[in-house]
Amino acid sequence: MATEHLERIVWEPTREYLERSRLRRFMAAQGIDGIAALHARAAGDPEWYWAAMVAHLGLTWHRPYNAVLDLSDGFPWARWFVGAGYNYVHDALDKRASGPDRDRPALIWEGDGGETRTLTYGELAAETNRLANALRRLGISRGDRIGIFLPMLPETAIATLACGKVGAVFVPIFSGFGPEAVATRLRDCEARALITADGFPRRGRLVPLKETAEVALVSESSVEHVIVVRRTGDRVPWTNGRDQWWHDLVASEPPASPTEPTAADDPYMIIYTSGTTGRPKGAVHVHAGFPIKSAHDLAICFDLQEDDRLCWLTDLGWMMGPWAIAGSLLLGATVVLYEGTPDWPRPDRLWELVERHRITVLGVSPTAVRALMSHGDQWVTARDRSSLRVFGSTGEPWNPAPWRWLFEVAGAGRLPIINYSGGTEVSGGIVGCTTIEPIKPCAFTGPVPGMAADVVDQAGRPVRGQVGELVVRFPWVGMTRGFWRDPERYLATYWSRWPNVWVHGDWAMIDQDGFWYILGRSDDTIKAAGKRLGPAEIESAAVAHPAVQEAAAIGVPDAVKGEAIVLFAVLRPGREPSAELAAEVQATVVRQLGRPLRPERVLFVPDLPRTRNAKIMRRVIRAAYLGQDPGDLSALENPAAVEAIARARVR
């Protein structure tokens, strides 16, 4: 690995973090002395761990479970809290709205143009109940699927909760999708209803959401009802008898509504992820799964408590959207939803958001940080960031320079960066950090408690100090209940490599001090000079050059080496591409990784293909460079970046 990953510890928990820690209180109540002992006991007795944790979280069963875990159908089909009755909306909303939390803020929203709105727990419950009543009046009931095609609005959270309240299954759809991607998801899950908006502003420009939905529904026959939020007030295409304005639909509904007594393993969400080939995969999540894992990870890794305000830059179509909403509300915290982008209309927009709403836990991606740091430190330091306690990060591996900028400039060296990595099918993190352990740049302190994670070689044997596959050796609460109506694909994706081992698809490494690193997707593997490595190593070396803001590395066929490395680089503002600069970047990689890993080519491009949640799509880069079929592009946000790569390959 590049030497930057092997630096000293840069953050130690202060007395304030230790005394506040919810994780320490849990360990003390269980008679456990230290994180290592917690991991060991949880790995040896996972049923004890999850039973103790749901009690610690104060979850309310309307029918108690008769067994914590049932493995009679095998590890891939593990069932938790067997026989229990549970609807997460009761814990997230009902019990708080009827108690002393009624007048505390549950949700704060800020729009692209600066508009704000706050809903208390009582107000959020009333709005949720009105929509739940309206859904029932439309004939929506337990098990029905409802697509939610919205940006981050108050109505977005209300819609997810109302679906849960009536026992329906919501399907989050990325607000930047085109018609075919929307239609594919609605068609696959046979949705009975769609909740969308007339449109929404993004960077000051209108995104015509209802127009997109209208085109999608031409080829989709299962949708009987379309509920439209009036966000912009613009004229939109309309189908009488099918389409209804949200405000008209709920206007006469009462603010009280019963919560459906769902079973703990009833589905509450199907969330689609894009594969390299084939149609998107619909991960099925249940009431006593994804919401509990979300709350668990927020409490244990991020130390989220009732006095916190969490803001994560995300979309509902990325798992971090449902994760932030459900997890924050289950813990009684305040979730801050932001419709816009972090640097519009000025580069200090994110820090203005922190200052205005007194955000305490802020979730950002490395890509967002790279963009923000390019504007200069003054946009950050001029804003009051004293409310912040924790930075969260997920979505992709870090490079050292942006990590250090977030830590030293934005966080003034006082805030932990809780690095967090897992996936949609996981319901959150496999590896992470906590606020009571020392932190190294770009690293994870280890597995998220309750996750029996390991790093193994090609034979499935544990390895330390070298790159291997990230695996999980035992089921956990929040593990997907499979792909919607496609069990074989689920088994082939995660369980086919070794018996009873979940293979996640990430390269990882554990260093000599026990810190963990994620090095990219294992299907992005490069094998150069006889060595298998993740692209993050090469990319981190490349961005060490002062001209390079961002980089993506791929392996391409080579008659002599087997694979050669091609590096795509985005330059910092004011730097111009040249053959001399390409040679300098190559030399920078050589100095850090050695001559055998020198990129064969360095190509400068204006942007890299990425998803809305900022993940770089290396398989798309490789396909564009080689002139191959890129597969599913429904998650791609910036098609022009693919075209630029295709042009670069012939230069």
- Each residue of 441-477: pLDDT tens digit? 999 999 999 999 999 999 999 999 998 999 999 999 9
Question: Could you give the CA distance from residue 57 to residue 59 in angstroms, rounded to a whole number?
Answer: 6
Q: How many CA atoms lie within 13 A of 216 on its CB side?
A: 28
pTM attached to this predicted model: 0.87
pLDDT for the residue numbered 651? 63
Transcribe 50-82 into DSSP letters: HHHHHHHTT---SB--SEEEE-TT-GGG-EEEE
Q: What is the pLDDT of residues 561-584, one digit of tens each?
A: 678 899 999 999 999 999 999 999
More reliable by pLDDT, 119 or 273: 119
Q: In this model, does residue 537 exceed pLDDT 90?
A: no
The alpha carbon of residue 411 and the mean position of all alpha carbons in its chain are separated, in whole angstroms, by 22
Q: What is the pLDDT of residue 650?
A: 63
| % of the chain at pLDDT higher than 90 | 81
DSSP element (H, E) containing 644: helix 639-648
pLDDT digits (tens, 9 = 90+) for 383-409: 999 999 999 999 888 989 899 999 999
Q: Read off the pLDDT of each residue in 482-492 and give the average, rounded to a whole number.
A: 96
* pLDDT at site 280: 83
221: pLDDT strictly greater than 90: no
- Per-residue pLDDT tens for 336-354? 999 999 999 999 999 999 9
Least confident of 180-184, 209-213, 605-609: 180-184
Q: How many CB atoms lie within 10 A of CB 32?
A: 18
DSSP string computed for 537-598: HHHHHHTTSTTEEEEEEEEEEETTTEEEEEEEEEEPTT----HHHHHHHHHHHHHHH-GGG-
**pLDDT over 90 (residue 545):** yes
Sketch out the chain's domains with CATH numbers. 92-250 (3.40.50.980), 525-648 (3.30.300.30)
pLDDT at residue 275, rounded to an integer = 52
